[in-house]
Amino acid sequence: MANDTAEARPPDGEGLKPNAIGFVDALVIGLNSTSPAYSLAAVIGPVVALVGIYAPGVMVASFVPMLLIASAFYYLNKVDQDCGTTFSWVTRAMGPWTGWLGGWAIAMTGVLVVGSLADVAVSFALLAFGLDSWVDNDAVRQTLTVLLILVMTAVCVIGTEVSAKVQNVLILAQVVCLLAFAVVALYRVYADTGTLDSIDPSITWLDPFGPGGASLTSALLLGVFIYWGWESAVNLTEEVEDSATAPGKAGLWSTVILLVTYVSVGYAVVAYAGTEYLTENADDEEYIFALLAGEVMGGWDWVVLLAVSTSALASTQTTIIPASRTALSMARRHALPRHFAHISHRFRTPDVSTWWVAGIAITWYVVVNEISENALFDSLTALSLLISFYYALTGLACALYYRRHLTESPHHFLLIGLGPLVGAGLLAWLLVESVSDMSDPANSYSGVSWFGLGPPLVIGIGIALMGVVIMLVLRFVTPAFWSERPSVADPALVHDTHGKES
């Protein structure tokens, strides 16, 4: 089994371009995939509405399962540098059926979210340039959104190096804008020149268990998913220098940098605006930053609007990467039709799978918008089910694959076995909580009932059932992949890759 993945790849010169980008580029792509400014803007209001001043603490607690799963990504990537990540690893450790479902979940997250990210990027850019009326015009906004998706998809196809350069510019603009916002907000709090009911920051805000109860669980659900996306760095493993370690390290460092960013800006927002204002405007979701921008920055509010726009713009591009690379990996193993494995001879990127992801994402965005804007937000809520599922699978796969070596050292037991298992357990618990919460239609964004359930749960179940049907059809069309059997880590590989660290 150790060489199955390598045998599935095309010969040198025909596959993805090796050593196309370095560690820093992979790190930036991992950061941008989470869309930090957009993610924080989208959840800060609802989190504060649930736990009040303890919002920064929830962001710290939500970081824990992400770090543990990032550890699983790191160690699995060391033995299998496959751009399909979870699909390839879960297939290796748990078999083709489970692996296929993990790959399907990753691909569908891209389909669900790309349109929404591009919509936010367009909307905030228009707001930053004072074109508010364009934002209110659905035809104009949606047309620009579709064009943006096409442009960012073209960038992905043209080359990983070009993608990385674009991402470097976008992350710089985003971080500078966010830091400027945080510094100004905190300065005005301490100078007592704020326009809202400011609160002096306190170290006690870092206690995630301050509020307790069901509100904490709901807040953790929101908190966990602002970290989602960092693994895009690992999906580029075949194209990154030092592919056995650099992509995994980029994923780990992405989660740490995100923690610092989220807690810092979270402190600034809560301190400046106060809990009452944020709670009252929680329903505005990502547009809370549009409201706060004028309050904090005055005539410089475009800085904050630009931060959210560049954040969503960057994530529009990087979210396509894991979905397209996963489809490529699945096609190479005959788990999807072979044409998804086509690689551009000129650019050495997976052009067919990339354009397919974009095309399906555009279709989803347009169709769901025709239903209602609320349906679009409900489809994004369904992401939590897919994300919890494939992250938990990855943590479990790590412990299973290395199971014969976990007692060889404390390092192996804690970082390769127990840590990923705990992370998987936490995410499985959050998955169950999500299903329970989404079963009540009153908890959905639209507040309507589909088949007696909340729309996000119906969407999640529908995607899962569609995946099972497609999987069963492919089982008979391309039977080769389905004969693969689970394996365990080879002793020589374990000692080669971990000996120095143990």
| Nearest alpha carbon to residue 23 among 254, 172, 251, 241 | 241
How many domains, in total, are found in the chain?
1
- Residue 450's DSSP bridge partners are 453
- Mean pLDDT per segment of 10 residues, for the chain of length 502 residues? 48 66 83 79 79 88 91 92 93 95 93 87 86 89 94 84 70 75 86 83 85 70 81 86 88 87 86 83 67 75 78 82 92 92 88 94 89 71 85 95 90 92 92 84 73 86 94 90 82 50 34
Q: HSE on the CB side for 306, CA within 13 Å?
A: 18
State the CATH number of the domain containing residue 121: 1.20.1740.10
Cβ neighbours of 299 (radius 10 Å) = 7
> Alpha-carbon distance 337 to 335, whole Å?
7
Give pLDDT, residue 2. Answer: 40
Judge whether 324 lies within some domain. yes
| Nearest alpha carbon to residue 294 among 68, 127, 150 | 127
Judge whether 465 lies within some domain. no
Q: HSE on the CB side for 215, CA within 13 Å?
A: 15
Judge whether 321 lies within some domain. yes
> Alpha-carbon distance 397 to 392, whole Å?
9
Give pLDDT, residue 335. Answer: 93
Dump the DSSP string for 110-173. Answer: HHHHHHHHHHHHHHHHHHHTT-HHHHH-HHHHHHHHHHHHHHHHHHHHH-HHHHHHHHHHHHHH
DSSP-derived letter for residue 444 is S
> Alpha-carbon distance 131 to 350, whole Å?
36
Give pLDDT, residue 445. Answer: 61
The encoded tokens of residue 143 equal: 């047309």
**488-500 burial, b if ≥16 CB within 10 A, otherwise e?**
ebeeeebeebbee
Give pLDDT, residue 45. Answer: 79
CA distances from residue 222 to 225, 261, 264, 383, 388 in whole angstroms, order as listed: 6, 16, 17, 11, 12
Judge whether 392 lies within some domain. no
Cβ neighbours of 432 (radius 10 Å) = 11
> Alpha-carbon distance 236 to 26, whole Å?
7
Cβ neighbours of 13 (radius 10 Å) = 8
Judge whether 398 lies within some domain. no
| Nearest alpha carbon to residue 313 among 92, 469, 124 | 124
Give pLDDT, residue 12. Answer: 41
Runs of H (alpha helix) within 340-381: 351-371, 373-381
C-beta separation of 249 from 23 below 8 A: yes
Could you tell me the end-to-end alpha-carbon distance of the chain, in angstroms, rounded to an integer?
25
Residue-level length of the chain: 502
Q: What secondary structure, in 3-state letters, does 38-86 show? A: HHHHHHHHHHHHHHHHHHHHHHHHHHHHHHHHHHHHHHHHHHCCCCCCH
Structural domain that includes position 287: 24-370
Instruction: Report pLDDT digits (tens) over 37-85.
Output: 778 877 787 788 888 888 899 889 889 999 999 999 999 999 899 989 9
Give pLDDT, residue 287. Answer: 67
What SS3 state is found at 319?
helix
C-beta separation of 53 from 275 below 8 A: yes
What's the whole-model pTM score?
A: 0.86
Instruction: Please name the amino acid found at residue 199.
Output: I
How far is residue 414 CA from its own chain's centroid?
25
| Nearest alpha carbon to residue 392 among 421, 363, 365, 353 | 421
Judge whether 459 lies within some domain. no
Judge whether 112 lies within some domain. yes
Give pLDDT, residue 421. Answer: 96
> Alpha-carbon distance 383 to 177, whole Å?
28
Phi, psi of 297 (to 5 degrees): -100, -10
Q: What secondary structure, in 3-state letters, does 221-239 show? A: HHHHHCCCCCCHHHHCHHH
Instruction: Report pLDDT digits (tens) over 447-500.
Output: 678 888 888 888 889 999 999 999 999 999 888 899 888 877 765 555 554 433
Q: Is the dihedral of CA 152, 154, 157, 158 positive or negative?
A: negative
Judge whether 170 lies within some domain. yes
The encoded tokens of residue 56 equal: 């920064």
Give pLDDT, residue 10. Answer: 53
| Nearest alpha carbon to residue 87 among 434, 320, 328, 311 | 328
The encoded tokens of residue 422 equal: 């705990």
